[in-house]
Structure 1
């Protein structure tokens, strides 16, 4: 109640004691499910302007719902920290790595590094090799002649396909 009264006293100057008491009751009704320390911290953050929004928002007292949201955010953050601390306290130390395992892992890493270096060297060597020569260019006349031969072959194949697909002639009717 003391913290809410301090908040209201700052923003509701000039109001009567009854007005302040009624307003304080509405705040207490809205905040009754939260610990007192979170309400105090929420009010402290409001006074510092650390609750989001614009600076103009802090010219007035927060609504009951807004102050509840600020204090509830503090509760959630604290609960998240508590979960992290519980996990940390429940953590088990990892077993020590033996000298033999360290030596084996160091040898494996060294072999991997050597393999990577040789793969990189192969890639660089491949990049330095001269490009293969392009096939010689042909003149227009030979290219045109080759295209004409291909066209003639396609037309002949198409004509043959039409003959193959043509229906067979029915036998001539025999007159009796």
Structure 2
């Protein structure tokens, strides 16, 4: 029995951002068809559980211009819409979206605020084009991406640890400066040390 990974989505007038949240996915297979059918499968977890997904998107997409980035924690896709129009919803079917599909509020822009500019910071992600990947029966897509195919480009960064270290140093430096000026009480020192 397969499971569904969590999916987050947002849109602009010309594209849809789709993020499949599945840490440590193995053998990820992603396919996008021009009619707007997005399929995904991968195994993950201690028991290599199978996760599958098939989404009938609201409208057609341009497979050749759509892009994908398979990372350690998620699979991020930029799906170019065939027509530059605002979609009423992500899926073609009427009714409430499945429980595993959520709006990505970090990337969301309202229709009246969308100026068509790509203002999303993608953090230097290396994207491959769906259409240029081949191997999925001529429909474009990405199949059988093993661990070796992902390369070292998507390893976790230590930036978070460095930021914490910098703030700790700033706290220590601030406490020393207050001590030199005779202004820090014992309570303030304890509070700064516990942060």
**TM-score, with length taken from structure 1:** 0.24
| TM-score for the superposition, normalised by structure 2 | 0.22
Structure with more of its chain in helix, by fraction: 1
Greater share of strand residues, 1 or 2?
A: 2
Higher Rg: 1
